Amino acid sequence: MGAADAVPGVSGGTIALITGIYDRLIAAFTSASPALVRRVLADLVRDRGDLRTVFREVDGAFLLALGAGIATAILTVTRALDTALETMPVLTYGFFFGLIAASAVVLRDEVSLDTLGRAAAGVTGVVVAFVASGSASAALGESLAATFLAGAVAVSAMILPGISGSLLLVILGQYERMTGALSAFVDALLALVTGGSVATVVDTAGPVVAFLAGGVVGLLTVAHAIRAALEARRAATLAFLVGLIVGALRAPVARVTEEVGAWTGGVLAEFAVAAVVGALLVAGVERAAGGIDLD
């Protein structure tokens, strides 16, 4: 799931479906709530023995094992992608374009636009993502507050097969920044082991801590809001979410334009080949999952 979540267009939720842990994942995620957090804080003060009960209620052992695996994969995959974005931006963003496009195709059967409201939701999703992903510099920005918000939105996407948290980071203009920030933070930690400076660790920790804090809040709030929206207006919510994917196709194109300035025949060919590879990867994952069903 960590490897999938690190790549825009590939959903960790889909991997959870393939491996048969999706229902358990959803139960564990949605068991976390502000009320549970208050209960844990109270238990820390008066009754630490009850913490074991809370740990079992949220399927803590499962989440710890899953979290360790996700973290390990993200640390390795994001480093590779950070290097690829710096050295091969056209190929990398072309690959992302194929991933995103294929994800929209895979989810086509989940979308119904048979009413005006659903069609409006889908169009709204396309427009929001298209406008937001036009330029990295025009997106959320680089403040810690923006990073916090990006973490909340991206992590909450883990509850939906077919919706990629990294794709949402691309839309928000945070993907390249966060892969770089995570690589810098890990480098600082590794350097600390060999005599590096603690100050460097502190300097690079800000974006990572803000993103993780946003992720925790996202699981406690945004994920529940998405789940409530799906229960109340499932068809319209799915139309909006898939609309986001379609609109996000602008993001890789815009990033390549920022990198190369003008599109040449060579750039287009390079981009297209990488896009085909990305699309084939999503098709293979979807085939392994036996098709994505969001019901």
Two tokens, residue 19:
């491996």
C-alpha 82/C-alpha 70 separation (Å) is 17
Q: Identify the pLDDT of residue 116.
A: 92
All residue ranges of the chain with pLDDT < 70 are: 9, 14, 17-18, 32-34, 41, 43-50, 135-140, 158-162, 223, 289-295
Tell me whether residue 295 is in a domain.
no
- Write the CB contacts of 202 (distance below 8 Å, at least 6 apart in sequence): none
Q: Identify the pLDDT of residue 273.
A: 96
Tell me whether residue 220 is in a domain.
yes
- Positive or negative CA dihedral for 97, 93, 160, 70? positive
Q: Compute how many other C-beta atoms are within 10 angstroms of the C-beta atom of residue 181.
A: 22
Which residue's entry shows tokens 């939105």? 153
C-alpha 75/C-alpha 81 separation (Å) is 10
Two tokens, residue 281:
């990867």
Q: Compute how many other C-beta atoms are within 10 angstroms of the C-beta atom of residue 189.
A: 14
Tell me whether residue 117 is in a domain.
yes
The total domain count for the chain is: 1
C-alpha 5/C-alpha 24 separation (Å) is 18
Tell me whether residue 110 is in a domain.
yes
Two tokens, residue 135:
């330029």
Tell me whether residue 113 is in a domain.
yes
Q: Cβ-count burial of 232 within 10 angstroms (0-12 exposed, 13-18 middle, 19+ buried)?
A: exposed
CB 157 within 8 Å of CB 170: no
Q: Identify the pLDDT of residue 43.
A: 63
Tell me whether residue 107 is in a domain.
yes
- Write the CB contacts of 262 (distance below 8 Å, at least 6 apart in sequence): none
CB 105 within 8 Å of CB 278: no
What end-to-end distance do the CA atoms of the chain give, in Å?
21
Two tokens, residue 224:
């529940």
Q: Identify the pLDDT of residue 159.
A: 67
Tell me whether residue 43 is in a domain.
yes
Q: Compute how many other C-beta atoms are within 10 angstroms of the C-beta atom of residue 251.
A: 29
C-alpha 189/C-alpha 196 separation (Å) is 8
**Amino acid at residue number 28:** A
CB 254 within 8 Å of CB 75: no
DSSP assigned state of 50: G
Best CA proximity match to 234, nearest among 114, 118, 104? 118
Q: Compute how many other C-beta atoms are within 10 angstroms of the C-beta atom of residue 127.
A: 13
Strand intervals (E) in 16-163 = none
Tell me whether residue 294 is in a domain.
no
C-alpha 246/C-alpha 195 separation (Å) is 47
**Amino acid at residue number 240:** F
Which residue's entry shows tokens 């390795």? 76
Domain coverage including residue 127: 2-289
